[in-house]
Structure 1
Amino acid sequence: MSEALDSLRQEVRDWLAIHAPKDWRGQSTSEAAFLELQRSWFATLAKAGYAVPHWPENWPGGGRSLAQQKVIYEEFARADTPRLLLSFMSTYHAASTLFEWGSEEQKQRYIPRILEGEIWCQGFSEPGAGSDLAALRTRAERKGDVYVVNGQKLWSTMGQFADQCLLLVRTSSEGVKQAGLTYLLLDLKAPGVTARPIHQIHGDEEFAEIFLDNVEIPVADRLGEEGQGWAVAQSTLSSERGLTLLELSARMRGALWRIGDLIRANGRGEDAGVLRDFGRLASKVDATCAVADQFLANRIAGEERVGDASIVKLAYSRTLREFTSLGLRIGGLEAQYHAPITFGGGMETGNWMADFMNSYAWTIAGGSDEVQRNIIAERLLGMPREPKNWFVKEGAA
């Protein structure tokens, strides 16, 4: 197996030496350039069989083992290729959910279009339902062969560019909140749909809010049964758990040279304090990669526990903040100047102020650090659940 993985690694490395985009960071400073690069790079990977190694084996490049997927992601990180942000929701969340819950007609209709470049987004979170998805209020009322949907979705990654949306809606208010949810597939070009980008403080527009005004969705575009949306959504949310963080950790390790170059460029090579902090950071980055590797090893061995992915997520988000913070500090005043962001460049681009601000998003996205700690404490360590009504008003009995 080791020889086979080494052979695959060399194969991917040789292919990337020829096909990896050159100087893409310098070119990806506008939305139009970002979209063009993302689409062309995905098409190149799909043709070569590297776009969807996690798909079943009857799809081009699919059927790869977890160990093989790890090799491919590590080589992409080593070559500093563009992250597939535009197609990420499509190839992971949408495809995995369709493979598990879709009818044969739905699979034949949607899966090939994803491989052809169709973009999907996720319509789960709402202004009053973020971490608690069961509190969502977007309403879907069935009228004959269609659902009529009204409501608003928030923080939909790449939603302004998407063609389709994985939509979680409420079809009933009876019983527990989770029991009233239904999962629909939404055509974002349907009448009554409005998608607006959310402008972030560092200049990116990675997310969108989606407004639904009497939008009609065919009942045929429902995944699972009515009221089964919570179970379908859990499949969506677990579709890429851990593997993405393994790739991101490898990318962070591969970007340590940016801080090393910054130390030399700013004449801090003899500064004992800076060298100490850099050494500590390098150790933490290596430790984060080791945690991600152990997570994958547990999954391959069938020993993954609920909460293991939370350990990786927590380790990565905290180390990323230290990585960008050190770069910002060593860079001095010049590093604090505003500069155009690199769209799709990840969280360690060398644009230190933008990277620093973006790193804080990772302590929230995909479940905040507090949520991850609760999962680890309750599901791994067996500690008692946090009381829901822990706050007692002053003077209360």
Structure 2
Amino acid sequence: MDLNFTPEEQSFRAEVRAFIDAHLPADLRAKVLEGRRMTKEDYLRWHRILYRQGWVAPHWPKAFGGAGWNAVQQHIFHEECADAGAPALMPFGLVMVGPVIMAFGTPAQQAYFLPRILSGEHWWCQGYSEPGSGSDLASLKTRAERRGDVYIVNGQKTWTTLAQYADWMFCLVRTDPQARKQEGISFLLIDMKSPGISVRPIIMLDGEHEVNEVFFDNVEVPVANRIGEENKGWTYAKFLLAHERTGIAEVGRSKRWLKRLKAIAARERACGGGRLIDDPRFRDRIAQVEIELMALEVTTLRVIAAEMEKKAPGPEASLLKIRGSEIQQTLSELLMLALGPYAAPYQPAALDAGYDGPIVGPEYGVAHTGLYFNMRKTTIYGGSNEIQRNIIAKMMLGF
């Protein structure tokens, strides 16, 4: 296998890099690279810039308004964006529900929702997990009772990322409580402005408001907002989760963190004692995670290429989810260790863009403690890594 990029691919990389250098706002770049707090408008500004260029959905077919790029082009684009410090594109519309609507939605659903996902008019959130229904997602209890042309939805979702910003939710609901648990679920698109929906924040260990509880009290949802057949939602949910797990790998972002880790380790330690990179034990840990990241990158390219041919990722996405999430945790831990005493103080106020007060260890950034805490969740969301190993054992190894 030739792992070198072709001249055409190198030319594409140069085009992407030139565009990012010319159009990524300096304040957004600084926020990302310094670990500052991002607002909804921050994310949407970069989204709209890419939308105007036609690059906001690299993996979508051109027929639906996407860029239609091949696997290598997608990889190059995401790598360059991450390295430059571009804000992440929210995956809930572009990576998760968008492909579901393309594959299983009606022409009317495709015509209404897909352009609004592309433009950024609709911000989406995911209504999957519930109290007591996380890894065993099929045990969910949120009910949807059909009454004529609407469903009446009652129940609760939890760990709903950025629901405080969302215009729409894609939601799994139980429409047949008598059926086997995987067979009685439907997939609904729910307007978050509907009467009866309330969103309550869950403040995380790092003090940030990223996730929420969402409650449904007799919420009316048009039957026209159901994806596919009633009680067949589990099929669409598995399709969506495979796309989510592919995205969790986050090779580009991990490369940026690795670069930062090496830079910190190469500095002379303030308390004396030379450079951490000269410690053979710590240097070996950096080398180990770099090798694992290189292997993940190659595997990601192979999965993306296969996905473009098969139109849907297979169980291989579970491999990416496991290794990608573990590498992210390792990098955040090594960053903490490399910072030493500067990792201990956590200054939430310093995450705001307008903060002009003192920063402990300003040359190291302001958010490494928060990053370490936040990355503890990566092996759980999108299906815990234990569940992913079960999927691999069953669907790839035949156990």
Same fold (TM over 0.5): yes
Q: Is the 8 A contact 1:183 1:223 kept in 2?
A: yes
Take 1:357 and 1:328, find their aligned partners in 2: how far apart are those partners?
Answer: 10
| Structure 1 partner of 2:157 | 153
| Structure 2 partner of 1:196 | 200
Instruction: Report the Cα offset of residue 209 of structure 1.
Output: 1.3
**Residue aligned with 1:151, SS:** strand
Q: Is the 8 A contact 1:305 1:380 kept in 2?
A: no
| Structure 2 partner of 1:354 | 370
Letter aligned with residue 261 of structure 1: A
Corresponding residue to 1:311 among 319, 323, 327: 319
Alpha carbons of 1:138 and 1:186: their partners in 2 closer, same or farther (altered >3 Å)?
Answer: same
Take 1:261 and 1:186, find their aligned partners in 2: how far apart are those partners?
Answer: 46
Take 2:277 and 2:287, find their aligned partners in 1: how far apart are those partners?
Answer: 15
Letter aligned with residue 110 of structure 1: F
| Structure 1 partner of 2:343 | 335
For structure 2, the residue ranges without an aligned partner over 5 or more in a row are 354-363
Corresponding residue to 1:93 among 71, 92, 96: 96
For structure 1, the residue ranges without an aligned partner over 5 or more in a row are 384-397
Corresponding residue to 2:140 among 111, 129, 136: 136
The reply on whether 1:379 has 2:395 as its aligned counterpart is: yes
Letter aligned with residue 55 of structure 2: Y
Two-structure CA RMSD over aligned residues (Å): 2.6
| Structure 2 partner of 1:278 | 283
TM-score by length of 2: 0.86
Instruction: Report the Cα offset of residue 355 of structure 1.
Output: 1.5
Take 2:48 and 2:56, find their aligned partners in 1: how far apart are those partners?
Answer: 8
Instruction: Report the Cα offset of residue 120 of structure 1.
Output: 0.7
Instruction: Report the Cα offset of residue 98 of structure 1.
Output: 0.8
Instruction: Report the Cα offset of residue 265 of structure 1.
Output: 4.4
Corresponding residue to 1:108 among 107, 111, 117: 111
Q: Is the 8 A contact 1:249 1:288 kept in 2?
A: yes
Q: After superposition, what is the alpha-carbon deviation per residue over 1:39-86, rounded to whole angstroms, capped at 9, x for unaligned?
A: 1110001111221011111344421112221111111122121112xx
Take 1:52 and 1:272, find their aligned partners in 2: how far apart are those partners?
Answer: 39
Instruction: Report the Cα offset of residue 215 of structure 1.
Output: 0.4
Aligned length: 375
Instruction: Report the Cα offset of residue 119 of structure 1.
Output: 0.3
Take 1:121 and 1:225, find their aligned partners in 2: how far apart are those partners?
Answer: 22
Alpha carbons of 1:343 and 1:177: their partners in 2 closer, same or farther (altered >3 Å)?
Answer: farther
Q: Is the 8 A contact 1:123 1:165 kept in 2?
A: yes
Instruction: Report the Cα offset of residue 256 of structure 1.
Output: 2.4
Give the alignment of 1:222-241 within 5 angstroms: 222-241=226-245
Q: Is the 8 A contact 2:46 2:86 kept in 1?
A: no
Give the alignment of 1:1-397 within 5 angstroms: 2-24=6-28, 26-27=30-31, 34-84=39-89, 87-117=90-120, 118-245=122-249, 248-263=250-265, 264-266=267-269, 267=272, 269-270=274-275, 274-300=279-305, 306-340=314-348, 351-383=367-399
Take 1:7 and 1:253, find their aligned partners in 2: how far apart are those partners?
Answer: 21
**Residue aligned with 1:312, SS:** helix
Letter aligned with residue 355 of structure 1: L
**Residue aligned with 1:194, SS:** strand
Letter aligned with residue 68 of structure 1: Q
Alpha carbons of 1:54 and 1:120: their partners in 2 closer, same or farther (altered >3 Å)?
Answer: same
Alpha carbons of 1:36 and 1:30: their partners in 2 closer, same or farther (altered >3 Å)?
Answer: farther
Instruction: Report the Cα offset of residue 306 of structure 1.
Output: 4.7
**Residue aligned with 1:211, SS:** strand
Take 2:313 and 2:165, find their aligned partners in 1: how far apart are those partners?
Answer: 36
Deviates more, 1:232-241 or 1:108-117: 232-241
**Residue aligned with 2:261, SS:** helix
TM-score by length of 1: 0.86
Deviates more, 1:254-263 or 1:167-176: 254-263
Q: Is the 8 A contact 1:306 1:380 kept in 2?
A: no
